Structure 1
């Protein structure tokens, strides 16, 4: 799971905010497993999947719901989308495979 905790290099940093942040002792809580830049890239890929790919719009919606509600079962996802749990699982797997493939192409291009 990714959550915004100001990891990575922000586009703009207020000098007052930097002073306040430096004055606070250590940050607790969860640490992200990916950077903000990578999370934005994945977000963009899911949006591209939804907008540009024929037959993948439903897969993008399933992926979004599945990861939005952490811990959601395929049965619950199927009920939410009005489809069977088997189709819900297949849609999530299809979308994850597409995003994974797109990420691989991004890494190879860099």
Structure 2
């Protein structure tokens, strides 16, 4: 299911999904946040509580959607009042990028 916010100015449409996300930030390893939507360039996550996140922070992530696991370096681009974070994927292996493209195609159906 594609995000339906008409004022959304993203480069690529995001698709609803779910799965766990773990990440390193500020020297902390945080477990079991949730991924809420996904595109080739980034995702929206609901992080675990306990760390003060700031737009521009860099993360090392591992997330799983539809039994596919991805490792990526990311940057926080948006922090919502709900605590959800919009993150941009800035580094992903070529193999993972191909798998992510296939996953996005699957989610778009």
TM-score (norm 1): 0.26
Task: Flag the structure with more relative contact order, 1 or 2, with Cα contacts below 8 A and sequence separation at least 6.
Answer: 2
- The structure richer in helix per residue is 1
Q: Which has the higher strand share?
A: 2
Larger radius of gyration between Structure 1 and Structure 2: 1
